[in-house]
Chains A and B, each alone.
Chain A
């Protein structure tokens, strides 16, 4: 790790002056003072080349930080636990790239499944319990976080078919290519172009394709 050289600081300790330093992770500004907010190693990050601000950023890194917490706007990976007519509930497993330590419940409402024809969404055909979903998080209400999959790069990324085969989203991350690219890939694999939400295609090696209707 890079933090080896930095001295250990504790919450509240002075890191420097905000006139010469920018506040990074694990630090906060208190008037003109920059102070640490967690225990860890103090590290200075030089300003990116070409930036007008010549101040370095000071961070506190290294020591243990608390587990990831869902923040509004973060992209999460969740496992669907229950599917109902108007919503599906899911347990959040990762926030951005970090695994969560505690249990957080998310809810995918019918209107958040996709961006178009939101009134025609059939929850039972969109998700099944056990599906791994990539979704955008908002704080939601007192009961659960709201998850939205209404973007091309969001949706089911991994699932099991009824026969128990592992399915993976194919080309879900292709933003610009849109539907034609997906069709192309499917055709290459000699898929049956189905009209349902799930298109299951056996490519032989115990590996199948999964696709949602919005590409059709």
Chain B
């Protein structure tokens, strides 16, 4: 009898239990407001530190420029002009803002992948055009060139903040500095300033570009899956983070200006 039992076998009813349990646990984890540690040790509502790795004026040939490094994301933005608009452009009384975002070939772990983000140029333009006083440089163009040296998540928000720093460095008249912060949505949780790994697994994302002194949002991008109650929360979280980031940018501009004298 025992030999027969040994010859056959039947799957245990509870075989998948362990796997299911693990999955369930992860789901619970996501469903709770638990604050599990993130890969870089931050808690959910911690942004990556910015101040010490920010710089104005790295590109000497440009009218203004800025470098920003948030965690692994490294961005350099150069502002040229105001200079004469290209001949092919139509006549316009006000100034133009020309934005271009490009990635180095080594920006992403897989070579050349950064070129997927073609819409970033248009989005950067949309985020900045509300803040720049275009009427102060009629018929001319201000060029904003952003180069992502390393892509480590939240690229566009960092490009936007860095570009407004570069515009301020160039002395372009602006209504206010624009800062931008994005959040990722994981189940019930909202994670601020996601890294590229977190962005790859997110359910949804929200990016807000904000002028803190004027309390105006210049751009808001919402993608993916969101339950309605969380969006308001997330926008408020972003706005608060933007204000704090803006204070850091102001501090930096003031330091740079007093150093220059």
Contact = CB atoms under 8 A, between A and B. Distances in A.
Interface stretch (B11-19, B166-174, B186-194, B218-226): B166-174
B170 A10 contact: no
A214 interface: no
Nearest to A71: B138
A28 B133 contact: yes
A82 B173 CA distance: 34
Contact of B84 (A14, A30, A102): A102
A11 B174 contact: yes
Contacts of A28: 133, 173, 175
Interface in B156-198: 168-177
B214 interface: yes
A102 to B, nearest CB: 4
A105 interface: yes
Given A66-B170, A66-B172, A37 B133 contact: yes
Interface string A78-102: 0000000000000000000000011
Nearest to B258: A8
Interface residues of B, number: 39
Main secondary structure on chain A at its contact with chain B?
loop
Contacts of A66: 63-64, 81-82, 137, 170-172
B230 interface: no
B27 interface: no
A141 B258 CA distance: 41
A39 B63 contact: no
B253 interface: yes
A102 B91 CA distance: 19
B244 interface: no
A10 B171 CA distance: 10
B140 A69 contact: yes
Contacts of B171: 38-39, 63-66
B257 interface: yes
21 contacts: A8-B253, A8-B258, A10-B254, A11-B177, A12-B174, A12-B176, A12-B177, A12-B214, A13-B213, A26-B173, A35-B176, A39-B168, A39-B253, A40-B257, A64-B171, A66-B63, A69-B82, A69-B136, A71-B138, A103-B83, A139-B93
